[in-house]
Structure 1
C-alpha cells in the first residue's frame, strides 16, 4: 500500500491549513470567506490564503489587483479589518522590517527624492483627476458640515481655510503644495489675496497656471526648502504627508522664516493616532511612495518654540464621505479613462480609495486643520467652523 499523496492533494491540504488560519483571523473582525455579507471576501484563487500570511498587507492588495478575490463593499470590509486591528495581528514580513530600518537610516523625503511622489502619483494624468475630483480639483478632504454634494463641500473647505486665515484684500498668501491651483484661485478671486503657490508636480504646475491665468497668482515648480520670501499668510493642504519625520523640523522652520510677525499659518494634514516612520506598505508601494502620516506628538515637537497653536480642528470623519464620492466618480468615469489605464490600475485605484475610506470610518485615520500664529494673536482668535 502506498501512502504517497499526489501533488494536487498536497496542495489542497496546504491551502486548507492556510484557509483555516485565515478564517480564524478574519472571524475576529466579523469577516467571512465566500459568505453572504457585503463585506465578506469572495475568494477566486485558493492560493489567496497562503499569500495573505506570506506577504501580509502587500499580498492582500496585490492579490485583489490580480483578481484573486472580490468584495461587494471594500469600504465596509476595511472598516471591520481596521477596527479589529488585523494589520497588527499579521506577521511582519521582511520587506516591511527592511523599510522600517531604511526609514530610520535614510531621509526618504530628501531634496532629491521629494520629486518622486509627484512623478509617480500626481503626474499620473490630469484626465484621471479631472474625472474623479470636483471642478477645482481639490485632492484633499472636503468639509461636509453644510454641504449637499462634493462641489459644495470642497468650496466650503476652501472658504473655511480663508476665513480661518482671516485673509484680506492685498495680503500675500503662500500655498505650499498648491495642487492644481484650486485654493490659489479661490483665495485670489474671492478674498483678493496675492498668491504664490508651489508644487513638485509638473502636471499640477501646468494646469494650475492655466487655472489662475489673469489673477494675482504665481505658480512655481519648487521645493518648499528653496523658499526665500515673506508672506502675510501661509497654508499647506494635503502636502505635509509627503514631508517625512526627518524633515518636520526643517518644514516648520521654513514656514516660520516665510511668515510675517503678524502672520497666520494653517496646516491641513491627514494624521496618525500613533507615532511611526512608515505607512501601509501597499499604499507606500502603489500610491504614495515615501509618504508618512504625522502624529500629534511629531507636529507639536517640531513646531515647539516656533509658533502659538491657536486652534486644532479634527474633521477626519468627513474624509470617509469624500473618498466614497471620489470612488463613485472614478467608477462612473472609467469608460472614458480605460483607454489610458489598465484593468489592474482600475482595481488598484478603487482598492486605494475604499480602503482609505474604511480607515477614516473606523477613526483610525484623522484629518487635522491646525492654525498657528507667529507669536500669538493679541486677545486670541474666534476660529470659524
Structure 2
C-alpha cells in the first residue's frame, strides 16, 4: 500500500513540475508575442496614419489593401480558414479532443497587425488573446500528463498576453477567469500566476510603458452621482456596440463571395475614415490627444457633434472591419468609445450644470465602464483601465462605474459579442 501511495505522490510531483515548466514557457512566449505585436502595430500604424493625414487618398486605399492582404494570406497560407476570434477558444475548451492549430499564431498575429495598421477600426487585443491561447493549447499537447489541463494552460497563455498588453497582471489573471475559464481550480491559480509573473517580468525587462501617460491629481465624492450616470450611459452604449457588430456581421453572411465583402466593407470604412479620421485603426492616437487636452476642452457645437458622431459611427466602422474579414474584437473599440462618452458627459455637465467635474477622470473611468459592459467582465476592466495609465488613484470610482455599466448592459441585453457567438452561431 505504501508503495502505491509513493507512486501516486511521485506522479503528482512530476505532473506539477511539468505544469510549472509549461507555465513558464507559455508565459515567456505569450508575453513576447504580445509585446512584439503591440510595438509593431504602434510603429506602423503611426507611420501609415501620418501618410493618410498628409494625403486623404490613402484613407480610401489602405482599408482595401489591408483586407485584401488578409484574404490572400487566408486563402494561400492559413488553410482557407476564417478567424473567429474568442469563439475559437470556447470551441476548444468545451471539447476535450479539440485543440487550436499552430497556424493560428501567425494567422492572428499577421492579420491583427494588417487590420489595424491599414485603418481597420478595431484592435490587436483579441488577436493577441487567441494567438496566446494557441501557445497554451500546443504546450499541453506535448506532454500526455498535461492533457487534462488544457483549459488551464490555455488560460495561462491568455493571461500572459493580456498582462503584456495592458501592463497589469491582475487584468490578465481576471480576464482568464471571468471570460475563459469561469472557475478557479488550484491548477488554474498555479499556472496562471506563474505565467503572468513571467509576463510582467518581461515587460519590466523590456521597459514597457503604459499606453497612456497621464497624471491623476484627485477625484471628488461630489462627482459620485455622475459616475453612476456614466455607468448607465456606458452600459447602454455597450449594448449598441454589441448589437451593431452582431447585426452587420449577420448581414454580411448573405454575401457568398469574399471579394464582395471586402469591396463593400472597404468602401464604407474609407468613407467613415474620411469623415472621421479619429476612427483610423485602434483609435488610441485620438484618445491620447484628447486625454492631453481634456481638462481644457470647451463645449462648442462642432465639438459636440464631432464626439457624438464618433460614438455613433465607431461601432459601425468596427463591425464593417470585422465583417469584411479583419481580425480583432471589441476591446479597443470599447476603450475608445468609453473615453469619448466620458469626455462628452463631463463637458456637458460642466457647461450646462456647472458641476466642475474633471474631464480627464471621466475619460479614464468611461474606458473601464464601456469595456466592462461590452465583455461583462467588470474586474478585468477595472485593472485593464488602471494598467492603461499605471495609476490606481481612480480605483474606487472605476470599480463602481464598471459594476453599474455591466449590470445595465446585461439587463438590457444578456449577451456579449463573445457569449452570443458561442451560444448562437
* TM-score, length of structure 1 as denominator length: 0.30
Which one has a bigger Cα radius of gyration?
1
| More helix, by proportion | 2
Structure with bigger RCO (C-alpha 8 Å, 6+ apart): 2
| More strand, by proportion | 1
